[in-house]
Amino acid sequence: MSRDPRIPADAEAPVEILHKARWLTLKQRGRWEFVERNNPEGAVIIVAVTPADRVLFVEQYRVPIRQFTIEMPAGLIGDQGHADDADIAATARRELEEETGWTCGRIVPLHAGPSSAGMSTEIMHFVRALDLRRIGDGGGDETENIVVHEVPRGEAGAWLRAMADKGYSIDPKLFAGLWFLEHGQAG
């Protein structure tokens, strides 16, 4: 099979490990440097709307950027090799419960793609959580300190912009979450 001429020669270069730390590894392929999680199955972001039609957001402090962020509930997918839909759904349900105190009846995949394809192999999965039911207070595990925000669906975009104006760091992927909410087939 002949090689697609649009694929640069670097794509066939061997990968060199520049530094392997506990959670992340810095690698190089040809001229391209990139970071990979040592658990490379990626992360899942959960788009969740309560029965009162409120979108769930979580507020927490992020050490790498030294800022408080607003995010949707999210977590790293398990550590048993390649993640399948069941692993992703299990992670999504667990993180939703731990972070927000809500559980869900169903998890529907929305999209999966790279978070920063020029410098990282990280893949972000978006799922929709459906049939929400309150089971606790949320707030995260013992290492986390999470505040839950429940925002009326129609005000979510304006609320995110207002929180950005207040100095919170807002991952642009959140607006992708809102786009999926407005355009999804998942109700």
Enumerate binding residues for its own copies (CB under 8 A): 6-8, 10-11, 18-19, 21-24, 26, 28-30, 32-35, 37, 43, 60-69, 71, 111, 113-122, 124, 126, 145, 147, 157, 161, 164, 169-176, 178-180, 182-183
Cβ atoms within 10 Å, residue 129: 26
User: Which residue number, 132 or 174, has a Cβ lying nearer to its own copies?
Assistant: 174
Q: How far is the CB of 173 from its own copies (least distance, A)?
A: 5
Q: How far is the CB of 64 from its own copies (least distance, A)?
A: 4
CA-nearest of 165, 60, 40 to 115 is 40
User: Which residue number, 33 or 84, has a Cβ lying nearer to its own copies?
Assistant: 33
Q: How many whole angstroms separate alpha carbon 144 and alpha carbon 30?
A: 38
CA-nearest of 93, 114, 122, 117 to 105 is 93
What tokens does 181 get?
């909410």
CB 129 within 8 A of CB 48: yes
Q: How far is the CB of 98 from its own copies (least distance, A)?
A: 15
Q: Which of 16, 142, 150, 155 is catalytic?
A: 142
Phi/psi-derived region of residue 127, left when phi > 0, alpha when psi is between -120 and 50, beta in every other case: beta
Per the listing, tokens 């398990």 go with: 78
**Known catalytic residue: 59?**
no
User: What is the CA 130 to chain-centroid distance, rounded?
Assistant: 17
User: Which residue number, 27 or 54, has a Cβ lying nearer to its own copies?
Assistant: 27
Q: How far is the CB of 133 from its own copies (least distance, A)?
A: 27
User: Which residue number, 51 or 114, has a Cβ lying nearer to its own copies?
Assistant: 114
Per the listing, tokens 């040809």 go with: 30
- DSSP annotation of 73 reads S
Residues that are catalytic: 142
